[in-house]
Amino acid sequence: MRRRDLLKMTALAPCVPLIRGVRAASPASIGGAPRRRARATDKEWPGEESWKRLNEAVGGNLIPVNFPLSVLKTAPDNAAAKRLQKEIRNPYWIADQPGLTQTLGWVDAWATQPSVYAVAARNASDIAAAVNFARDNNLRLVVKGRGHSYLGASNAPDSLMIWTRHMTDIEVHAAFVPQGCQGKIAPQPAVTMGAGTHWMQAYQAVTTQGGRYVQGGGCTTVGVAGLILGGGFGSFSKRYGTAAGSLLEAEVVTADGQVRITNACMNPDLFWALKGGGGGTFGVVSKLTVRTHGLPEYFGNTSFQVKARSDETYRSLLRAFVSFYAEHLFNQHWGEQAKVRRENILEINMVSQGLDREQSQRVWQPFLNWVKQSPSGYSISGPAGPIITGFPARRMWDAQWLGEHWPEVVWPRNGNPLPAIWDDIIVHVMHEPQFKRDERSGSAPSDVWWSGDGGQVGWYIWGYESLWLPASLLASDSRMRLADALFAGSRHADIELHFNKGLAGAPPDAIAAAEDTAMNPAVLTAFALAIVADGQGPAYPGIPGHEPDVLKGRAAAKAIDQCVRQLRAVAGPSGSYVNETNYFEKEWQQTFWGDNYLRLTQIKQKYDPEGLFFVHNGVGSEEWSADGFTRP
């Protein structure tokens, strides 16, 4: 279905002056006192009649926000509490709760807290009404789509929430031209998505049904808006670049309540800022249009673990793998992860594009031969050895097809029966190919998420760091230093190397598109993003039996810091990725955006001079207190 935004905006236009006219007495300074936003306990907080008029302006979609976790404190033994403990591990259920976020908090940093009210927006005019109301009544405003922010951007107490969860319309275009760009930009295939769309919905429409590719997130339940606004990497970014680099146009509501179209020809400065300048900072995006790409014939997966028998053999293994990566995998075909674990285990879970199973096997064979023939001795886990697959790319996000064909994908029969060793594997593992389902009634068959992302569902973070690893470390005279730094870091914590989150090795068109975004330019010359993180399963402060382990969390954070120090010693001040980073980053302006930060602050001042939009460590946030309520 397509929304008729213009008609809806016209119908609601008479309501907007009513909302803008409900202006509370400003708690701004008298005699130099700091300005602060109104809290729910303040006399300046809007009265019942004001909220009633806002509800009328948004078509009855203003809702009070409750806190689902409170049942664990008030009635921990009833059926609702038991149901919650099951559903809190389901990202689709969490996304349906305006009072929850997928990350529940961070030790010594923040904990998810519900807004007082939420506007369950259905279109840009709903968003504009909420923006006007928040501005005129001096309220703390938050924006939530799917609630995946590690830094807590989509929650705040005493706030009004703009909830875009239900804005999920998708329209696929065969030949899209941004508004105002006729004759300047050639038509190209694209897809327009509402701000509440998540990437599994996008992949279903573009890839499973349409036979093309859209550069989105690897985690299927992440929202399209938050990912793109932060830059946006997916499993195949080594080929297709960042999601922000594919953005063609965005509809956004700015702090003055105006609905603006942004693209290369209209409001181009704001358009540039939206491409990686951070979510919740420059306005509220209502829809986005991104280019789509031709689909390769094959996607694939390679998974195995190698266990070293001693520290020295582990160091040798890491040196061999770094060289192997530089010589065989450092190209547009390979993405995703290698994990360097403390237990002297190298864990490979990488994806490929454009290679069939036999081609991928040939790529990996030299490394596997080295492992098997090494006199030092290593063991490769799994009764059937490495899993190397290649399957039709169109089926990558087709859960039904994968569920039916996964054993054949892993071990093509070619007319022969499967080896007996596979009997138990197929029964216990391969009929459910690495994903979990939303089992609630009414859920769609495509409502699945990768098992590897399950640890982030309802988690409470202990510590998190990321840094770009420059491609210069893959030079022949630097590989040993990199491998030794990985070994030294792994003595403290596990290290994940996300090869798809560095664009060195990508084709020129992908790099050029990313260069025209607000992201830290370090991404252009990085071969990977190193991530070191730890946390625990569903937990929340103040709920007996479910509280975070603060002491263990602080110890983990210290170990993460010690680990990353080893990597920084060889990588230098390379920067970090704003969507996946440290809450306590001290020099975040330079770390997240590099030399682009000055330009971003100028755009922020132009479109949001009063700082209505605030997120932790977002552009302009240094002008506010840590909670976003007080400005000196």
Where along the chain do its domains lie?
5-167, 173-295+594-600
- The band of 34, judged by pLDDT with boundaries at 50, 70 and 90, is low
> Does 86 score more than 70 pLDDT?
yes
Is residue 1 predicted with pLDDT exceeding 90? no
Least confident range from 24-38, 159-173, 200-214, 321-335: namely 24-38
Residue 500 in this model has a pLDDT that exceeds 50? yes
How far is it, in rounded angstroms, from Cα 28 to Cα 613? 17
For residue 428, the 8-state DSSP code is: I
pLDDT band with cut points at 50, 70 and 90 for residue 24: very low
Averaged over 465-487, what is the pLDDT?
98
d(CA 489, CA 497): 12
Check residue 405 and give its pLDDT: 80
Give the domain 173-295+594-600 fold: 3.30.465
What's the pLDDT score for residue 376? 77
pLDDT of residue 414: 55
pLDDT in tens, 243-267: 999 999 999 999 999 999 999 999 9
Give the model's confidence band at 308: pLDDT under 50 very low, under 70 low, under 90 confident, else very high.
very high
Tens digit of each residue's pLDDT (9 = 90 or more) over 557-569: 999 999 999 999 9
Mean pLDDT of 31-48: 85
Q: What is the pLDDT of residues 61-70, one digit of tens each?
A: 999 999 999 9
- Please tell me the total number of residues recorded for the chain in this structure: 632
pLDDT single digits (tens) 373-382:
987 779 887 5
Handedness of CA 557, 558, 562, 565 (dihedral sign): positive
Taking CA atoms, 519 is separated from 232, 245, 273, 278, 404, in Å, by: 10, 10, 9, 9, 40
User: Tokens 């306005």 correspond to what residue?
Assistant: 283
Residue 340's beta-bridge partner residues? Answer: 346, 495
Q: pLDDT band for 522, please (50, 70, 90 cuts).
A: very high
The torsion defined by the Cα of 94, 97, 102 and 106, in degrees rounded to 10, comes to -140
Residue spans of beta strands (DSSP E) within 376-442: 378-380, 387-388, 391-392, 435-437
Q: How confident is the model at residue 433 (pLDDT cuts 50, 70, 90)?
A: low
Residue 249 backbone dihedrals phi, psi, to 5 degrees: -165, 150
Task: Give the residue-averaged pLDDT of 172-189.
Answer: 98
Same fold, 5-167 and 173-295+594-600: no
Per-residue pLDDT band for 552 (boundaries 50, 70, 90) equals very high
Fold of 5-167: 3.30.43
Distance CA 600, CA 229 (A): 13
Average pLDDT, the chain: 91
Residue 400 has pLDDT above 80, yes or no: yes
| DSSP label at residue 516 | T
In 3D, which of 68, 45, 177, 30 has the Cα closest to residue 540? 68
* DSSP string covering 37-79: -B-TTSTTS--HHHHHHHHHHTTT-EEE---GGGHHHH-TTSH
416-426: pLDDT as tens digits: 554 444 444 44
Backbone conformation region of residue 377, classed left if phi is above 0, alpha if psi is from -120 to 50, else beta: left
User: Can you say how many angstroms the Cα of residue 171 is from the centroid of all Cα atoms in its chain?
Assistant: 22
Helix (H, G, I), strand (E, B) or coil at 226: helix
pLDDT at 275: 98
d(CA 172, CA 180): 20
91 Ramachandran zone, left/alpha/beta (phi>0; psi -120 to 50): alpha
More confident: 403 or 529? 529
Share of residues in the chain with pLDDT > 70 (%) = 90
Q: Give the mean pLDDT of 585-603.
A: 98
